[in-house]
Every structure is written in C-alpha cells, then in structure tokens.
A and B are shown apart, each in its own frame.
Chain A
C-alpha cells in the first residue's frame, strides 16, 4: 500500500511546499495538499487538493478526516505553510506589505495572523494527524527559518518579528513532538531555510533592494547564491524517508553557510 503524505502550503506553484508535494509523488506517495490557494489546484491534479485554512482547527480536522476517508492512513506530514504575508484568504495574492513589522511596532492583528499561520497551523495539523501516524509510524517535517536562529534585522522587507518568533516555536514544537511520538516510530524533524528563491522571495525582491533578501544582504552568503526551491524540497523529502531513519527532534539548517548554528 502506498504511503500517504499531507503537505500544507503546497498550492502556489513557485513554493517550497509545491516542490515537496511533487517530490513525494515521485517517491510513490499519495499526496494530499492542504492550502487556501485554489487557483493552484489544477497543477496538482495528481494530488488530493483540499481547500483548507490551516489556522482554523476545525478546517484542519475536516481536512484530516477527508484524507482518512480517501486514503485510509497518514504516513507523512509536511508543515510547509507559512510566511509573514499572503497567508490568509484576504491577502492570499496581495503584494508584500511595505515597511518592517517588528515585535514593537506590529499590530496585534499582525501577531495573531502570523502566529496562526506559522505556528498554530503546525500544531493543529500535528495533533490531528498524530493518531493516524502512530498506527504504523512515519515522519513529520516542519519548516522553520534562519529567522528563528538569528532574528530579522529591523528594516528588512518582506518578513517580520512575529515570524521569527513563530519559527522559533516551530523548532521547540519539533523537539516536543519528537519526544511524544518517538516510541510510536514517528520521527519529527525540521528544516530552517535561509534565502530560498521561492515565489515569495521573488516578490519581495521586486520591492526591496535587489541585493537584499528578507534576512539581509545576499552578498554575505558564503555559498555565493540563494538556495533553489528544488534543493530545499529535496532535503525535506529526504527527512521523510529512511535516509533519515535515526534522526528525530533535529533542525537542519539550509542556508548556504549564512548562519552555522
């Protein structure tokens, strides 16, 4: 029987999640995509696409129920949804907001929206999927950020203070879930990407200085380039497979040596 994977935040065609969904299809998985961006569903015709607001626990429960009704099991959960903008139905295709939203100048609505999409979403999905993952074992991969390691420099366009905090929470959640699910053969790991050439990065680049990514100047990346969506997705897929059979609770930094934790 094929393994069944849920990938959140996978419908935008230039996203890391989209490449993960396609990568897991190549690994032979049945893939369920949970996303608000319905316009992207036709490009994922080989996946079960379920329109889901992952910041809504009821919506997540319905998505997991439909997954079980269709595929009868869950082996893999990749929590790829996230970002500081473009994360609600209202601003899904909006341009990035101008100006830096730090912890001391963001609105409470910014805080709740960003924490909801980046941190609560992974909690809701992990909780709803856990009973099914525990039946036969499997893997969860979360997506943190270099922002969790080093913060977002004030002034940086396209990211935010609440985002850095949410991604730090993702790393802590990874460790906690690893402890709770290890005995059931469920491994829980995390990647912390630096600057990856996703659609989100490309849209930020259009408004910010060309030589700056959301986390600062690109010229300081030792590997001399931003990361490709494909290589970040390949790492996430690898963490879902037996290649990472003895890794759990770990955050793997993928940032071109920009920040060695």
Chain B
C-alpha cells in the first residue's frame, strides 16, 4: 500500500546529489510527490546551490516556489565548498587538538546553518498555506557522541535537534510539523569508498555483527522513515527525533 497523503504534494530535498538525500528524492517520487532537489555538487540534475549562502537560498526559493515538504539532508562530516564540492572523507578520527577554527566553522555552517537558512526561507510560505512538513537530518553522532566524525559534526547535529524542537514549538500553531531523523551507520557510496568508520573489513564486520539487526543501514532505510513523517502517519508527530540505526543506540 502506498503511504497516504503524499501524492500530488511538492517537496524540496537538499543534499540530493548522492547518498541518503538522493534516496529520499527517489522514494518521494515513487509516492507521486513532485520533488525539487538541490545540492552544492552537480549530479542527478539538481539545482546547484551553496546553502550556506543566504543569497543562494533565496534564488533557490525563487526557482522552487511553495512546497509542502522540506527535507534538509544536506551535510556531512567534511564540509564542501564551491571549488571542491565533493571533498574526500578522512580515513581516521579527528581529535580535538587537530580541529582548526576554520574547519569547525565550515562543518557547523554546512550542517546547521544550511538547515536554519533553508527553514527560514521556506517556513513563511508553509505558515501562509497552513500546511508543512519539515524533516531535518541529525545523526547518531548527536545522540551518543562519536569517536570518528569529530566534535564539530556531532555538535552541529546536536544543534539540529535543538533547532527541530524549537521550530516544532514555533511552527506548530501554523500546522507545520518539524522532526528529525538520526541515522546510524548507513553505508552510502561515499562512506563505502572511504572504507569509513573501520580500519579493516574484519573490524567493520565485527561492528556490524554487534548491531541488533546485524547489518549496516541502506539509504532507502532512512528514506522510508522520511516518507512516513511526510505522510498522514506523521501528521501528529512533531518535535521528535527518530533514530534509524538498527538498534545501535536507542535514544532518550
């Protein structure tokens, strides 16, 4: 059965050129949603925009118009720039002493400021039409901390949870729900290429075997939850962060 409440709606997905964002685009299109997609990296026909730049966000809104669903999937532990839109993921962990102010600021901007600017741009139209669903992307790094991705990324994703709760309070009276998903180890193409998170295939297998569901996540595992939050099943869910991690961490 298709999810009810999706067909004929309009959505914007950020960070849509690859990974989970791209899977969300495909899933929503399967459900009959008209999807606009954007990314700083030009692939899959996205509208190219640097969402850390409020001018770019405003121009994006001019192209997209009013939307029902906003999926803020843009982000990652390594910040892209206009000149380097797909920087490689570092193989090892990032310690506090190795974290420069510049890198801290860039990762906060890429993961947290982007969501703020895009919400600020699109929420007024949702309020005016008295309907909207916003889904932000947190991370397991915000829930349990992380020995791998660096404090900047975990802090930015923790910020996403605070942003989500506060916007849920502010936009609720206008019939706009605001939620977050917090993915665990999701083996996107980029993460697979970087052999990311684990020093050897054996170490990765040992980690996966320690998860209650005994497997890594797939982008479409997360896309399904995003679709549910946009559907009628998500109508009364707001301010929540949904952990999608195969049982790695159970949340609060």
Contacts and interface: CB of A to CB of B under 8 A. Distances in A.
Contacts of B251: 250-251, 261
Contacts, number: 137
A165 interface: no
Interface residues of A, number: 45
Contact of A256 (B238, B244, B247): B238
A242 B4 CA distance: 15
Interface centre among A181, A252, A257, A261 (most CB of B within 10 A): A257
A231 interface: yes
A238 B3 contact: yes
B242 A179 contact: no
Nearest to B245: A246
Nearest to A27: B1
Contact of B243 (A227, A232, A243, A247): A247
B228 A244 contact: yes
Interface string A213-250: 00000000111100110111011011000111111111
Contact of A246 (B177, B221, B252): B221
B189 interface: no
Interface centre among A230, A251, A259, A260 (most CB of B within 10 A): A260
B225 interface: yes
A182 interface: yes
Interface in B195-221: 211-214, 217-218, 221
Contacts of A250: 242-243, 250-251
A227 B234 CA distance: 11
A223 B238 contact: yes
Given A234-B231, A252-B240, A223 B250 contact: no
Closest 5 CB pairs of A and B: A182-B212, A222-B172, A260-B239, A246-B221, A234-B233
23 contacts: A27-B1, A182-B211, A183-B212, A222-B169, A224-B172, A234-B233, A235-B228, A235-B233, A235-B237, A243-B224, A243-B225, A244-B224, A246-B218, A246-B225, A247-B242, A248-B246, A248-B247, A252-B237, A254-B237, A254-B240, A256-B236, A257-B168, A260-B165
